[in-house]
């Protein structure tokens, strides 16, 4: 084998490490959750519905591929994405799958059983309306995720607190809810709760990762 062939094989082998690391459905879900911000391994296991042992094994593979980084605080090990490129990679992978896989398209259609619940505004229009106060943008993710990064002008009411905190939302303004992205059901649940209370509510499928991948501004409260 020639030296140039060996070099080429090595290059492709190294790139393939990324493909191997993201070849697991659960590892992709872990990446999606980490797009929302740093979390300790126990929380990641709970968010993805797997055991602590399995979560740790998947996170180890992601770390070996340098897709995530860690820090230790007391007894907890915290994980975060290595950088925003990893979030962009997730968005590109998911978007490509949505465009090319009929099975995924069918599954997504089942999630959107009621198309009228989706807001029919583009991102720029939504920003303008939110800035003017014409619409309430509602972040229904856990408060810690909102505190890491959120859409401009968004208010934070986690979906599991929404019923008790309904009076915090103006009754005369339409509400647009969002959560972690197209595969997340929290915004869908929030819209259902809001409509039960007679509120005008819709949702957008964009999460923070999708919003940022489009080059749109994201607010970081800690900055």
Lookup result for tokens 């409509």: 195
DSSP state of 167: G
Backbone angles phi, psi at 177, to 5 degrees: -100, 150
For residues 170 and 199, what is the distance between their CA atoms, to the nearest angstrom? Answer: 9
Per the structure block, which two tokens stand in for 169?
């939302």
Is residue 35 part of the annotated active site? The answer reads no
Q: Which strands make up the sheet holding 76-81, listed edge to edge?
A: 39-40, 76-81, 68-73
Nearest to 133 by CA among 187, 173, 167: 173
Sheet harboring 201-203: ordered strands across? 155-156, 136-139, 175-178, 201-203
Spot the catalytic one: 34, 179, 187, 191: 179
Give catalytic residue positions: 179
């Amino acid at each position: 084998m020639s030296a140039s062939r060996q070099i080429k094989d090595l290059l492709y082998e190294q790139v393939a490490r990324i493909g191997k690391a993201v070849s697991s459905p659960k590892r992709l879900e872990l990446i999606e959750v980490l797009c929302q911000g740093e979390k300790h391994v126990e929380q990641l296991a709970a968010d993805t519905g797997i055991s602590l042992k399995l979560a740790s094994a998947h996170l180890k593979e992601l770390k070996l591929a340098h897709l995530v980084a860690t820090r230790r605080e007391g007894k907890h090990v915290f994980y975060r994405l290595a950088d925003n490129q990893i979030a962009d990679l997730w968005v590109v992978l998911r978007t490509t799958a949505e465009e090319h896989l009929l099975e995924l398209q069918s599954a997504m259609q089942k999630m959107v059983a009621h198309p009228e619940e989706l807001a029919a505004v583009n991102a720029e229009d939504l920003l303008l309306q939110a800035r003017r106060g014409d619409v309430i943008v509602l972040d229904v993710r856990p408060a810690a995720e909102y505190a890491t990064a959120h859409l401009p002008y968004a208010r934070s009411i986690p979906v599991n607190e929404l019923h008790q905190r309904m009076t915090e939302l103006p009754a005369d303004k339409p509400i647009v809810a969002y959560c972690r992205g197209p595969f997340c059901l929290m915004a869908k649940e929030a819209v259902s709760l809001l409509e039960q209370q007679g509120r005008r509510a819709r949702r957008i499928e964009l999460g923070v990762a999708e919003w940022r991948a489009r080059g749109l501004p994201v607010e970081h409260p800690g900055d």
